[in-house]
C-alpha cells in the first residue's frame, strides 16, 4: 500500500526536511491537485493504482477543512485544443497532442467522484503542470488572505511539485503531504520529496495537518 511507505519515505528525507513549520490555521488553504478521472478511474487514459491509495487521506482532509470553514481549492488539467493551448505539454505527452487525454468536455477531466468539490468550492482549470501558471489562483489566495498552502493530489513529481515550487516563489508557506500525494513510481515520489524538503516545502503528513486543523 502506498501510504504505508510514508514512514520509510520520511526517514529517507529526514536529513533535508529541517524547515519544520506549524500551520497558521486561519490563513490556510487545502489544494487538491488534479484528482481527475483520467488518473483515478480505471478506464482513465493515465490511470495508475497508487492514486487510489491517497483518496481516503484526501477525503479526511476535505472533511476537516470544511468543518473548520477553511478554504478548499481543486485544480484540473484540461486542454480545449492541444494544438493551440498544449504547448510543450502536448509535445511531451502524445495522448494530449492526439486529443486522447485531458480534453475539455470529456469524462477524464472531471474530478473523481469519491472526492467531488462542494458547491462553493472553486476548481482552477489549468493547461500546465503548475496551478499558478496563467490562472487566477494567486489572485484568489491573496483575496482570501491565505499564506499557508497544504498540497495534496497527483502527480507528486509533476503538477504537485510544480505548484509547490511556484507557491514558494510567491512567498506562500508550503506544506506538502507525503501520504496525500502520489505518482506512478515510488522512486519519483521520494526524489520529489527530497527536492521539496531541501528548498521549497515542509514535507509532512495527513495526521499532522489534521491535528492542527481540528
**For position 209, which CATH number holds?**
3.40.50.850
Contact 54, 62 (CB under 8 A): no
> Residues 175-185: what's their mean pLDDT?
97
> Does residue 123 sit within a domain?
yes
Query: Is 67 known to be catalytic?
Result: no
Active site residue 159: yes
DSSP 107-162: GGGSBPGGGPPPTT-EEEEESSSSTTTTSSHHHHHHHTT--EEEEEEE-IIIIIHH
Torsion angles phi and psi, residue 142, rounded to 5: -60, -40
Span 154-168, mean pLDDT? 98
Whether 6 and 57 have beta carbons less than 8 Å apart is answered as no
Of the listed 34, 148, 166, 179, which one is catalytic? 34
Name the catalytic one among 29, 148, 158, 159: 159
The C-alpha atoms of residue 108 and residue 37 are separated, in whole angstroms, by: 5
Quote the pLDDT of residue 210. 98
| Inside any domain, residue 125 | yes
Q: Is 158 a catalytic residue?
A: no
Number of domains in the chain: 1
Q: Which pTM was predicted? A: 0.97
List 126, 148, 158, 160, catalytic entry: 126
Per residue in 79-138, pLDDT tens? 999 999 999 999 999 999 999 999 999 999 999 999 989 999 999 999 999 999 999 999
* Res. 1: pLDDT tops 90: no
| pLDDT digits 0-9 by tens, 41-54 | 998 889 899 999 99
- Residue 204 lies in domain: 3-77+116-213
Position 193 scores a pLDDT of: 98
- Is residue 157 domain-resident? yes
Whether 183 is in a domain gets the answer yes
Residue 57 lies in a domain: yes
Which pLDDT value is given to residue 75? 98
Residue 99 lies in a domain: no
Residue 88 domain-assigned (yes or no): no
> For residue 26, is it within any domain?
yes
For residues 47 and 28, give the distance between their C-alpha atoms in angstroms, rounded to a whole number: 30
Average confidence (pLDDT) over 8-15: 97
Residue 2 has pLDDT above 90, yes or no: no
Amino acid at each position: 500500500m502506498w501510504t504505508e511507505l510514508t514512514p520509510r519515505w520520511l526517514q529517507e528525507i529526514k536529513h533535508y526536511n529541517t524547515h519544520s513549520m506549524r500551520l497558521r490555521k486561519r490563513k490556510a488553504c487545502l489544494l487538491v491537485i488534479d484528482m481527475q478521472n483520467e488518473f483515478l478511474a480505471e478506464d482513465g487514459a493515465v490511470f495508475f493504482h497508487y492514486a487510489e491509495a491517497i483518496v481516503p487521506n484526501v477525503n479526511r482532509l476535505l472533511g476537516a477543512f470544511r468543518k473548520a470553514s477553511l478554504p478548499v481549492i481543486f485544480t484540473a488539467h484540461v486542454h480545449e485544443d492541444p494544438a493551440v493551448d498544449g504547448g510543450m505539454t502536448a509535445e511531451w505527452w502524445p495522448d494530449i497532442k492526439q486529443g486522447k487525454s485531458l480534453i475539455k468536455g470529456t469524462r477524464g477531466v472531471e474530478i473523481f467522484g469519491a472526492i467531488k468539490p462542494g458547491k462553493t468550492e472553486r476548481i482552477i482549470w489549468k493547461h500546465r503542470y503548475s496551478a499558478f501558471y496563467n490562472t487566477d489562483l494567486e489572485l484568489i489566495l491573496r483575496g482570501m488572505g491565505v499564506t499557508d498552502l497544504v498540497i495534496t493530489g497527483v502527480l507528486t513529481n509533476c503538477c504537485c511539485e510544480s505548484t509547490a515550487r511556484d507557491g514558494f516563489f510567491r512567498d506562500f508557506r508550503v506544506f506538502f503531504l507525503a501520504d496525500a500525494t502520489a505518482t506512478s513510481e515510488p522512486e519519483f515520489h521520494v526524489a520529489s520529496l527530497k527536492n521539496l524538503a531541501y528548498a521549497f516545502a515542509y514535507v509532512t503528513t495527513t495526521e499532522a495537518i489534521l491535528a492542527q486543523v481540528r
